[in-house]
Amino acid sequence: MPRKIPNKSSSLQDLATEQPNPLSTDLDTKSALEIARIINSEDAKVAAAVERALPQIAKAIDWIADGLTNGGRLIYVGTGTSGRIAALDASECPPTFNTDSKLVQFVMAGGERALGRAVEADEDSEELGIREIRKRKPGKKDVVVGIAASGRTPFTIAAIKHARRAGSKTIAITCNLSTPLEQAADHAILVETGPEVVAGSTRMKAGTAEKMVLNMLSTGAMVRLGFVYGNLMVNLHQKNRKLAERAISIVEMALQVSRTGAQQALAIARHDVPVAIVMHLTGASRMEAVRALRSSGGHVRWAIEQARGEE
């Protein structure tokens, strides 16, 4: 039997995320410790909900990795909490994986000013959703991910529909079954987190689920691109003392050398972690390591194999 897709006029109270949670009844009469225990108990259910969506998440990772490999971008679209979580994930990719800031982007109702201030009215505008995604000129190489716990935010749905018409692969992330956003996208990731401790406050379990899924999408894609070696964050920026120390530790672990050995390897590689790893493990010169990394698209393991093949 086909799923029934709710129309825009359907009651918000019909959604699972909007239902009152029987486990948090009389929350306002509880002690601080009791409140914390109730929230913690509900939060413990989120990982299981995400686990049920792993096959859909894996498919999305493959789409994103393929798109980025072929010169495309990952573009998140969201409003409110969903938009802020999207902005966080997008903004953390450059320092974590040394990627260009244009590689992973976010489109949010209200723009950057909405990161620190609620701009609820913009969420209801389909026209604004279309206008904002048009600014990014989505194309066939791009993957556009719409995020909405309710699955019915007009701004996000309109942006996803436009991106799909433009030829982008589109993905919906929702916390409710059979929603307009799911219907609008090529592929859907449904994480059914159920009623919130505070009814309708989807910044709680639903927001946590969204953050977990976006962590998987961006990290999974970057791992597939080879920007992680083993489980080490080798493509990190070194713009402060903490990150410089982290680079030394990563080289120590990757090469199984002493701290002094790691510092020497980095110095020879002009403080480029992937270059230091390729040089040390293959005996390549710095320029040979740079060429191997460039040829492999920055995929560290492939660069090592290529440099060894040229010995």
Catalytic residue annotation: 92, 123
Phi, psi at residue 250, to the nearest 5°? -65, -45
Q: Which residues pair with 75 in a beta bridge?
A: 105, 144
Q: How many helices (H) and strands (E) does the chain have?
A: 13, 5
Cα(90)–Cα(77) distance, rounded to whole angstroms? Answer: 11
Phi, psi at residue 159, to the nearest 5°? -65, -40
Rounded (10°) CA dihedral 205, 36, 199, 91: -40
Classify residue 234 as exposed, middle or buried by CB count within 10 Å of its CB (0-12, 13-18, 19+): buried
Cα Rg, the chain, nearest whole Å:
22
